[in-house]
Amino acid sequence: MGRAYLIVSGKGGTGKTTVSTSLALALAQMGRRVLIFDGDVGLRCCDLLMGMEDLVMYDAGDVLENRCTLAEAATAHPQTPSLHLLSAPQMATPGDMSKKAIAELIAEAKQQYDDIFIDCPAGIGRGLKNVWMAADDAILVATPDDTSLRAAERVSSMLFERRQLHAGLILNRIDHFLIWVNEEKRPGEIAASLDLPLIGGIPESYDVYRGILMHKTALECDSASVRRAVLRIAKRLAGQNVSFPRFYRVQNQNP
């Protein structure tokens, strides 16, 4: 039986989908069976970030309308066949989707995959509420700025109140230099202020954006530090004990 993760963010621009696709690819390369469920109905983009836009034949809407099976709609990644993508329908709205039907679809997927990443639309709208009943865990992606963190706190509170999901935190676009000069808080300090467990952090890198332009995930970009960060997070999700970099920790925290 697999586990379904909500991948959420309080606002747009945090790199949530980049994180989702990168972690999914990393786990698949570790030998796990992984499905990305693109939950952004009407605005799908996982296929573009994974370079699979020309491979998708069916989407989740087709499965829900019984026009095809999950196996037919889940498109295999061309280089990593244990990774599959179930795209969101483009010509639909979140209101067209049945929460019960989505939950049943995710339950079916959990019989076939080790990990299901539900890449949710940003914010707390209908798109998130359509899929949250199907999830076992939640991963909140945020950037270290106050506007993103305020929105992240709101989403994490709602997930706990409505679903009793205590989200884990991934901080994206961490700037090591700004931490060094005390202009940006350490990841451990941010996680503690939000009362969320820290899953990991990914450093800021221009190479990630260059990769996006070439339809590559952050795991495939030219930045070694970004690739290492993604792999550390993936290993933690797979149950491995992976230590955090020293500068992530709260100052004066014991090693």
How long is the chain? 255
Lowest-confidence segment of 57-71, 94-108, 117-131, 211-225 by average pLDDT: 117-131
pLDDT tens-digit readout, 124-171: 766 677 777 788 999 999 999 999 999 999 999 988 988 888 899 999
Q: Which two tokens stand for residue 247?
A: 């500068």
pLDDT the model gives residue 255:
40
Under a CB-based contact definition with an 8 Å cutoff, are residues 10 and 125 in contact?
no
Residue-by-residue DSSP string for 91-127 = S--GGGS-HHHHHHHHHHHHTT-SEEEEEPPSSSSHH
- Interacting residues of 189 by C-beta distance below 8 A, sequence separation 6+: 250, 251
pLDDT tens-digit readout, 32-62: 999 999 988 767 889 999 999 999 999 988 9
Q: Which helix (H) or strand (E) holds 171?
A: strand 168-174
- Interacting residues of 101 by C-beta distance below 8 A, sequence separation 6+: 64
pLDDT the model gives residue 128:
73
Phi, psi of 95 (to 5 degrees): -70, -15
Q: Look at residue 252 and tell me whether its pLDDT is greater than 70.
A: no
Average pLDDT over residues 72-89: 94
Q: Look at residue 91 and tell me whether its pLDDT is greater than 80.
A: no
pLDDT the model gives residue 134:
80
Q: Which domains does the chain have, with CATH numbers?
A: 3-238 (3.40.50.300)
Average pLDDT over residues 70-80: 95
Residue-by-residue DSSP string for 205-238 = -HHHHHHHHTT--GGGSS-HHHHHHHHHHHHHHT
pLDDT tens-digit readout, 171-227: 999 999 999 999 999 999 999 999 999 999 999 999 999 999 999 999 999 999 999
Sheet strands (E) in 3-127 = 3-8, 34-38, 75-76, 83-86, 115-119
Highest mean pLDDT among 113-127, 144-158, 239-253: 144-158
Which position has the higher pLDDT, 159 or 77?
A: 77
Q: Look at residue 249 and tell me whether its pLDDT is greater than 80.
A: no
Which position has the higher pLDDT, 180 or 249?
A: 180
Q: Which two tokens stand for residue 158?
A: 């709602």
CA distance 55 to 53: 6
